[in-house]
Amino acid sequence: MPVEVHLVTPEREVWVGEAEQVTARGVDGDVGILAGHAPLLVQLAIGPLHILRGDQPELAAVIDGGFMHVASNEGITRVDVMATYAELASEIDLVGAQRRLETAQQLDDVTAKAEIAKATARIRLLG
């Protein structure tokens, strides 16, 4: 039985569909979700989200924090990823991410650290 996945931000619905497995980076480490998973609420860190869809290519995205809620009802597992900001791998501007990383590395404050983490996550996701 597939997992129903909803990836949303305050601005848009990024992706909705069925998956066999969802993996995300929580603030306490990575978490993987399969059909039948127990209910769960995870605070997300800046990092990758991987959605395995059987015989289709893996769907990858970058999440800039938020929450992942897992619920199971009558044999249906639903994963809601409510992200502060999210980009599918196909939407990431690699050159732009590299520029943002270089700019942020020259700063020395908390905002710079977050920007470095965001840019690095995008660059790593694309390989």
**pLDDT tens digits, one per residue of 5-48:** 999 999 999 999 999 999 999 999 999 999 999 999 999 999 99
Q: For 6, left (φ over 0), alpha (ψ -120 to 50), or beta?
A: beta
87 within 8 A of 101, measured Cβ to Cβ: no
| pLDDT the model gives residue 95 | 93
Task: Look up the pTM and report it.
Answer: 0.86
**pLDDT tens digits, one per residue of 58-83:** 999 999 999 999 999 888 999 999 99
| pLDDT the model gives residue 79 | 98
